[in-house]
A and B are shown apart, each in its own frame.
Chain A
Amino acid sequence: MNDVDYRRPSSVAEAIRFGAEPGAAYVAGGTNLIDLMKGHVALPTRLVDVNRLPLAAVTMRPEGGIRIGAMVRNSDLANHPIVRERYPLLAQALVAGASPQLRNMATVGGNLLQRTRCHYFYDADIAACNKRSPGSGCAALEGRNRIHAILGASDACVATHPSDMCVALAALRADVVVQGVGGERRIAMARFHRLPGDAPERDTELAPGELITAVELPPSPFAARSHYLKVRDRASYAFALVSVAAALDMRDGSVRDAALALGGVAHKPWRVVAAEEALVGRPLDDATIAAASERALAGARPLRENAFKVELARRAIARALQTAGGAA
């Protein structure tokens, strides 16, 4: 790990001032950044420690939603009474991720900013990785690509976003609140993470030096019926091959509102509004579920080793929706 300068700002304004300097990186839980620094993948020259900023509260908002401070730890968020009661989908996704130790360290802001990745990105001895070294090529495209993207990828990058929390946040229609030298702005979760296109080195729409201060959730009609299904190679502590966040608002036997997002399949949490619309106003039967998964997976383009993910995703969507609906 390269040597670094270390700053511990006492206010958000001071943090942003430090963060705006060249080579600076914010460090919160450190679970991804320090790992990347050890592998010589991330090479910041200054760490701005945001752990002591006053951003660790979960608060109710006037219109019934909640504001989650960026420094709330993943384990604390999963166990917060309001989250358990009103957003159980988020709680379930959070405890599906990482290990208890990592969830005690990882923050909401850091989870959003963990790098979209693949084995080749993580191995600095492999030359070809457009995400690590723009313009160097993509070793995964014709290499080992079992875990990679089936949706929204480009010839420049086929990596996937590993977060479980972010899949639930996408389904729950979160906003990310960020602050930079130019002031505060809000970014809808659907736009926060990027598809790789021809610039896979950029995972998010954050501008350099901007700091995530909070995540806001609107009131949710899904508290009674939701399910996060994670399919992985091990029973625990592994990234998703495919995951599904599914939530339903049912009235009189038909779907009044639906939320559906996938993890492990794309460069970002994959939420398809058209798939949600295919569920609304219909009974939750096999035909409705098939129509929704058709739309969620439209345009899937598997690689040599990951064609199985298309069928796996189809079945996982069905299982998650049936479980959320109370039928499985």
Chain B
Amino acid sequence: MSSDVVDHSGLSRRHFLQAAGAAAAVVPNGVPAQPAMRDALPLGAPSAAKTTTERVVRLRVNGADRELTIEPRVTLLDALREVLALTGTKKGCDRGQCGACTVLVDGRRINACLTLAVMHEGSEITTIEGLGTPDALHPMQAAFLSRDAFQCGYCTPGQICSAVALVGELKAQALSAATFEAAPAGAVPRTIAISDAEIRERMSGNVCRCGAYVNIVAAVRAVAEGKA
């Protein structure tokens, strides 16, 4: 395979290696920032460069079937960003604390940084790129724009993916800590009313360092109430 073969992601191998080299240069102790990842190979294709653990992993992302040849330790987040070049999903803390990497797996929101890509074969993965396009925004994307629900925008894809799932969870009457707080003392909550307190609690897995929370709550509430 020549050095500038373009893989499914559109990234050339040369560009990927340049990017990987730049990343490695800023990491202390000589520990590479990213596990070794290679261009996607056809299923079963022989490769002298394979490590002992590399394997073909089939993912379904934003409605398309993708094949990646990666080590098992590659997180879903790194597979999306570095192999499939879906860089809308952001890497913030990379430890499950900030929510910037939130994606939908079979419609459920999860942190892509704390799970391995290989664990999600057969699942339907939706990233911010799969929610809408500039010409046909998802209602939550449109609400974030109209309510000015961001400043720098880095946390926004994760906020929007999280908020899309939140609306579904509210429709399904899923409990939250705020639901119990709103119920009479010691009682089992029966119904869930949409409130700012509910939305804040349910968005607590997504940090916004710019502090756009007031407008984020307004955007999410507008969609949840069908007013977007």
| Residues of chain A whose beta carbon lies under 8 Å from any beta carbon of chain B | 1-6, 27, 29-31, 34-35, 37-39, 47, 49, 51, 75, 78-79, 84-85, 88, 91-92, 95-96, 98-102, 104-105, 223-228, 230, 235-237, 323-328
Contact B174 A75 (CB under 8 A): yes
What are 30 A-B pairs with beta-carbon distances under 8 A?
A1-B73, A2-B73, A6-B53, A6-B116, A6-B118, A30-B115, A30-B119, A35-B95, A47-B116, A49-B119, A78-B174, A79-B175, A88-B188, A92-B177, A95-B177, A95-B179, A99-B205, A101-B96, A101-B162, A102-B111, A104-B109, A227-B185, A235-B201, A236-B177, A236-B200, A324-B186, A326-B184, A326-B186, A326-B187, A327-B185
Specify which chain A residues have a CB less than 8 angstroms from the CB of B111 in the assembled complex.
Answer: 31, 101-102, 105
Q: How far is the CA of A26 from the CA of B215 in the complex (A)?
A: 41
Count, chain B residues at interface, CB 8 A: 43
Contact A31 B165 (CB under 8 A): no
> B136 to chain A: closest CB distance in Å?
26
Specify which chain B residues have a CB less than 8 angstroms from the CB of A326 in the assembled complex.
Answer: 184-187
Specify which chain A residues have a CB less than 8 angstroms from the CB of B200 in the assembled complex.
Answer: 235-236
Q: How far is the CA of A226 from the CA of B75 in the complex (A)?
A: 39
Specify which chain B residues have a CB less than 8 angstroms from the CB of A35 in the assembled complex.
Answer: 95-96, 114
Once A and B bind, how many residue pairs between them come within 8 Å at the CB atom? 126
User: Contact flags (1/0) for B189-211 with A, using CB distance below 8 Å?
Assistant: 00000000000111011000000
> A63 to chain B: closest CB distance in Å?
23
Contact B186 A101 (CB under 8 A): no
**Is B220 among interface residues, defined by CB-CB distance under 8 A?**
no
**Is B51 among interface residues, defined by CB-CB distance under 8 A?**
yes
Specify which chain B residues have a CB less than 8 angstroms from the CB of A49 in the assembled complex.
Answer: 118-119
Q: How far is the CA of A230 from the CA of B186 in the complex (A)?
A: 14
Known: A100-B202, A225-B186, A325-B186. A31 touches B96 (CB 8 A): yes
Specify which chain A residues have a CB less than 8 angstroms from the CB of B7 in the assembled complex.
Answer: none
Q: How far is the CA of A285 from the CA of B166 in the complex (A)?
A: 41
**Is B55 among interface residues, defined by CB-CB distance under 8 A?**
yes
> B192 to chain A: closest CB distance in Å?
11
Contact A237 B204 (CB under 8 A): yes
Of the candidates B94, B165, B201, which one forms a contact with A38 in the assembled complex, judged by CB atoms under 8 Å apart?
Answer: B94
Of the candidates A6, A99, A226, which one forms a contact with B204 in the assembled complex, judged by CB atoms under 8 Å apart?
Answer: A99
**Is B21 among interface residues, defined by CB-CB distance under 8 A?**
no
Specify which chain B residues have a CB less than 8 angstroms from the CB of A104 in the assembled complex.
Answer: 108-110
Q: How far is the CA of A104 from the CA of B106 in the complex (A)?
A: 11
> B112 to chain A: closest CB distance in Å?
9
Specify which chain A residues have a CB less than 8 angstroms from the CB of B95 in the assembled complex.
Answer: 35, 38-39
Contact A1 B119 (CB under 8 A): no
Known: A34-B116, A84-B188, A227-B186. A4 touches B166 (CB 8 A): no
User: Contact flags (1/0) for B61-84 with A, using CB distance below 8 Å?
Assistant: 000000000011101000000000
Specify which chain A residues have a CB less than 8 angstroms from the CB of B202 in the assembled complex.
Answer: 100
Of the candidates A31, A79, A96, A226, which one forms a contact with B186 in the assembled complex, judged by CB atoms under 8 Å apart?
Answer: A226
Most buried by A among B75, B114, B185: B114
Contact A1 B115 (CB under 8 A): no
Most buried by B among A2, A4, A228: A4
